[in-house]
Structure 1
Amino acid sequence: MTPRRALPFLLLALPLPAAAEEAAWQALREGGIVLFRHAIAPGGGDPPGFRLGDCATQRNLDDTGRAQARRIGNALRGAGIAVGAVLASEWCRTTETAELAFPGRVQAAPAFNSFFADRSTAAPQTAMARAILLGWPGPGALFVSTHQVNITALTGIVPASGEGVVLRRQGDALVVAGRIRP
């Protein structure tokens, strides 16, 4: 068979996006873990003078991001996902994303704080985050609102704002089950 004639057969072998996303939802129904990059917060990084705990010094969600965060929570509830715990980095944009998605349930988790500005903390933070994820006992799914750098360090995936990367535990490993697009 010529390469040109083989192409349609190769395309049929690729997973369909809808099927891949359904695998992510199923993993969450079975008590998986979802790492959501915070909702839309215009810009990149944090402004000069950034201080943890002072939202006025940080890059924050805009109205579009707030609406996106609410949709994230609604999507998980609408898909019948029982969320057992909600963790968020201590940055205002991640905490607000989690709070708008799951009001009153957010727990601060410094292991998921951004290390964008200080890469020297990447390895120990990622190890702490991985330990938290591997230790998730359930019941229900674990929802984590964090940053692109953290998700990329844990999975190799660069998510969009408001995108979720779903993981499941496989022995001592975390395996990507799929993605939930914003």
Structure 2
Amino acid sequence: METARIDFEAEPEPFAPLDLLKSEETEKAAQMAAILKEIRAYSGSDNLVMVIHLENIVALTGVSPREGEAVVIEPQGDGLRVLGRVTF
């Protein structure tokens, strides 16, 4: 939450599935499904920005970004397609 406040100078909306991944596989799968559902349901005119933990990014995309790096994705099939990476 603090990262989102600092980087975007706005009050972020909490979304529990973005918390650190649960250790139990069933809970982890439910978290990933909730994040994917949120991404697919987004219909705003601006970009959807999620500030998320490294472990979650790796689980969702297979990409391990460096500190301060953003991963740009789009929904594709049952998963996500990485479009690029941006370093701030």
TM over 0.5: yes
Q: Provide the residue aligned with 1:9 in structure 2.
A: none
Give the drift of 1:130.
0.8
Q: Provide the residue aligned with 2:71 in structure 1.
A: 165
Identical counterparts, % of pairs: 33
Is 2:73–2:82's contact at 8 Å kept on the other side of the alignment? yes
Q: Provide the residue aligned with 1:155 in structure 2.
A: 61
Instruction: Tell me if 1:140 matches 2:41.
Output: no
Instruction: Tell me if 1:126 matches 2:32.
Output: yes
Alignment of 1:3-82 (within 5 A): none
RMSD: 1.6
Distance in 2, matches of 1:104 and 1:158, equals 26
Give the drift of 1:173.
4.1
When you count helix as a share of all residues, which structure comes out higher?
1
- Listed one character per residue, the Cα deviations across residues 140-181 of structure 1 (whole Å, up to 9, x for unaligned) are 101111101100111011111221110123455421101112
Instruction: Specify every segment of 5 or more residues in structure 1 that has no aligned partner in the other structure, as ranges.
Output: 1-94
Is 2:4–2:10's contact at 8 Å kept on the other side of the alignment? no
Aligned pairs, number: 86
**Pair member with larger Rg:** 1
Is 2:5–2:11's contact at 8 Å kept on the other side of the alignment? yes
Runs of 4+ in 1 over 6 A off after TM superposition: none
TM-score (norm: length of structure 2): 0.85
Instruction: Tell me if 1:177 matches 2:87.
Output: no
Distance in 2, matches of 1:134 and 1:174, equals 10
TM-score (norm: length of structure 1): 0.44
Instruction: Specify every segment of 5 or more residues in structure 2 that has no aligned partner in the other structure, as ranges.
Output: none
